[in-house]
């Protein structure tokens, strides 16, 4: 039997030589995580069950990134709960505010999630780590509590859809545009409880930041996770970061019955998802009549250093449109520092942007960028449901950092070629 990449990783974490789609398994977990919204529920369940110790204090991360820096008393209490739990169980990876980052950018950067891993997180965008060649899935807080205690997770082995890309992306197109194009093609339920495996010469040529963006949004097509095989690009990224040993999985051959969809990347122009679904996608140049009030650049999708560089390249020597608020959120403290070292912050502030410490705040309408009634935001985040970033009658459009930065200058949705 030839297993898919996801099946091979899952099998390696069970006592079985092989697993197949549809099978239920109880699998060992290499690493698990929760944030300031989801982990408190897991902690309460863990403590109510009377469990006295976690399975491994070095295999758990608690990352306060959603309503932080604490926006009110309730959010402060949530983070306090994480902090006390980490102290009680001597959990090594509690990331205090000021030293944390957005979880799905921070943990790969820290070398805590690695190729071949099976990772669970009480956050739907845990699928981001599939870019490393890991099987990484979002779970509920009670599943996280069980993993705190046992180091295991119960799951159904998902089927795989393979997305094959050939050709060179046009200038200004990126991993974000690839995944928006795919979601626009298959819909928000087009990969329901399936693995989206991204492959082909185009994917092999992409740097890690683009791969993270692609896998991050697999959940927006209903997928269990996204995944990209480990290759030299992955190994170059992991080398020097890894906090422990790891064993990447490699697949020889291809299952006969795997569904495959093929795309010509050279035809994928910068994409924009219109309200109110990530699948409501069209080319950016077709939306140049849409005026905007706010632009957000950042998040676990597009807050990495390459995203900051692209935004700065477009903003250099330009000013944010007088009617637009531009908010920039580097995803981690290291990304923030690197942007300072490279002079990117000078560009951002000189253009008239507001730059924040790492936080998920505006992405979920939590704080630091909440929208008023009738306002439109173009954002590099991953969801645009009604009320996602604020008022139920506000609108969210999704794009890459290149489109977002260009649009911040013109005050309307703009293809970067208009400026450069």
Q: Are residues 250 and 312 in the same domain?
A: no
In order, the DSSP letters of 161-208 are: EEEEEESPPPTT--HHHHHHHHHHHH-TTTTTTEEEEEESHHHHTS-H
Q: Are residues 133 and 240 in the same domain?
A: yes
* Nearest by Cα to 105 from 384, 335, 337: 335
Domain boundary among 262, 283, 302: 262
In order, the DSSP letters of 246-297 are: -------S--TT-EEEEEEGGG---EEEPTT-TT-EEEGGGGTT-B-SEEEE
- Which DSSP category does 412 fall into? B
Q: Are residues 248 and 363 in the same domain?
A: no
Q: Are residues 45 and 132 in the same domain?
A: yes
Q: Are residues 252 and 306 in the same domain?
A: no
Q: Could you list the pLDDT tens digit for every one of the 420 residues in the chain?
A: 799 999 999 999 999 999 999 999 999 999 999 999 999 999 999 999 999 999 999 999 999 999 999 999 999 999 999 999 999 999 999 999 999 999 999 999 999 999 999 999 999 999 999 999 999 999 999 999 999 999 999 999 999 999 999 999 999 999 999 999 999 999 999 999 999 999 999 999 999 999 999 999 999 999 999 999 999 999 999 999 999 999 999 998 777 779 999 999 999 999 999 999 999 999 999 999 999 999 999 999 999 999 999 999 999 999 999 999 999 999 999 999 999 999 999 999 999 999 999 999 999 999 999 999 999 999 999 999 999 999 999 999 999 999 999 999 999 999 999 998
Q: Are residues 253 and 278 in the same domain?
A: no
pTM for the predicted model, two decimal places: 0.97
Query: Is-contact 371 365, C-beta < 8 A?
Result: yes
Domain boundary among 237, 262, 287: 262
Q: Are residues 192 and 277 in the same domain?
A: no
Q: Sign of the CA dihedral 77, 81, 84, 87?
A: negative
Q: Are residues 84 and 123 in the same domain?
A: yes
Q: Are residues 406 and 283 in the same domain?
A: yes
Query: Is-contact 391 98, C-beta < 8 A?
Result: no
Question: Can you give the residue range of the structural domain that contains 123?
Answer: 5-262
Number of structural domains (the chain) is 2
Q: Are residues 78 and 51 in the same domain?
A: yes
* Nearest by Cα to 126 from 113, 111, 143, 142: 113
Rounded to the nearest 10°, the torsion over CA 409, 359, 191, 1 is 130
Domain boundary among 217, 242, 262: 262
- Which CATH number goes with the domain that contains 373? 3.30.499.10
């Amino acid at each position: 039997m030839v297993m898919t990449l996801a099946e091979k990783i899952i099998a390696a974490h069970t006592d079985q030589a092989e697993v197949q789609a549809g099978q239920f398994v109880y699998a060992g977990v290499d690493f698990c995580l929760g944030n300031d919204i989801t982990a408190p529920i897991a902690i309460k369940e863990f403590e109510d069950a009377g469990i006295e110790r976690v399975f491994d204090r070095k295999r758990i991360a608690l990352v306060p990134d959603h309503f932080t820096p604490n926006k009110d008393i309730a959010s402060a209490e949530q983070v306090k709960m994480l902090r006390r739990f980490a102290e009680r169980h001597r959990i090594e990876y509690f990331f205090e505010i000021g030293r944390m980052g957005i979880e799905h950018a921070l943990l790969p950067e820290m070398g805590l999630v690695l190729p071949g891993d099976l990772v669970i997180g009480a956050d739907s965008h845990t699928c981001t780590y599939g870019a490393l060649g890991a099987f990484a899935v979002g779970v509920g807080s009670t599943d996280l509590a069980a993993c705190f205690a046992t180091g295991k997770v119960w799951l159904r082995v998902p089927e795989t859809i393979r997305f094959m890309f050939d050709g060179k992306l046009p200038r200004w197109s990126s991993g974000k545009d690839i995944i928006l194009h795919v979601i626009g093609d298959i819909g928000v339920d087009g990969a329901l409880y399936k693995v989206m495996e991204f492959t082909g010469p185009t994917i092999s040529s992409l740097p890690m930041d683009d791969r993270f963006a692609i896998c991050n949004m697999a959940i927006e097509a209903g997928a269990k996770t996204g995944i990209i095989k480990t290759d030299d690009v992955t190994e170059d990224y992991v080398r020097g970061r890894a906090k422990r040993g790891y064993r990447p999985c490699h697949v020889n051959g291809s299952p006969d019955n795997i569904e495959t969809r093929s795309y010509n990347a050279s035809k994928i122009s910068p994409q924009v998802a219109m309200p109110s679904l990530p699948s409501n996608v069209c080319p950016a140049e077709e939306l140049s009549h849409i005026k905007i009030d706010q632009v957000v650049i950042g998040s676990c999708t597009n807050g990495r250093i390459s995203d900051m560089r692209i935004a700065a390249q477009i903003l250099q020597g330009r000013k944010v449109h007088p009617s637009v608020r531009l908010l920039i959120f580097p995803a981690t403290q290291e990304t923030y520092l690197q942007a300072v070292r490279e002079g990117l912050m000078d560009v951002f502030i000189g253009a008239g942007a507001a730059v924040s410490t790492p936080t998920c705040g505006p992405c979920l309408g939590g704080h630091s960028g909440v929208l008023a009634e009738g306002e439109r935001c173009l954002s590099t985040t991953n969801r645009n449901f009604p009320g996602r970033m604020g008022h139920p009658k506000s609108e969210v459009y999704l794009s890459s950092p290149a489109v977002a930065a260009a649009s911040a200058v013109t005050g309307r949705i703009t293809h970067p070629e208009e400026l450069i």
